[in-house]
Structures are given as structure tokens and as C-alpha cells.
Amino acid sequence: MELGFPMTKLTIQIPDDLASGLRHIASLQKKSVEQVAVEHLNSLLGNASAPATVLRTIRQLPHPSPAAVDDLDAAIASARLPVTDHGAFDR
């Protein structure tokens, strides 16, 4: 069932890199750029704290490559502080 909603034509200018990103997302989801833009605008205007909205947004994120995960793990490991038995006020 398709619901009819009043539509207003709106033209906006966006940076080329943003337009390219929208085209890429639309091609991955096999949707039009307009559909992707409207869905993302609706999610911004909706109840952002709703668990379903958060879950839907997370599921739409692209999956990181194994190399990106390895890079993140390495960055986390290099930023760890050494463990000490002394507290900040024990010195």
C-alpha cells in the first residue's frame, strides 16, 4: 500500500562530495538519490532517541574493511596507558 503525502518541490545546492556520497549510497541501496535524501532527512526529523531509529541507522552504515578494523585496533592499543598500582594521589 502506498500512502500519498503532500509534496513540495525544493531545490538545494550541496557540495560535490556530498552529492557524490548520496549517489554512492543510492546505488548501493538500489534507490534514487531523492529517496535516500528524503529517508535520511526523515530520520533526522524523527525521534532520534527511538531504539528502532538508532538500529536502522546503524544497519545502514557501510561495513568497515578488515584493514580498517586492524588500524583501529592498533590505534587503540598504542593509546593505552600502562597499568600502575598507585593512584594519582599516592605519590
* Phi, psi dihedral angles at 34 (to 5 degrees): -65, -40
Confidence band, pLDDT 50/70/90 cuts, at residue 87: confident
Question: pLDDT tens-digit profile of 1-35?
Answer: 344 566 778 888 888 988 898 899 999 989 988 88
Which pairs count as long-range contacts for 17-20, CB under 8 Å and 24+ apart, including other chains?
Answer: none
Scan for cell 500512502, then name that residue. 3
pTM for this prediction = 0.42
Scan for cell 549510497, then name that residue. 25
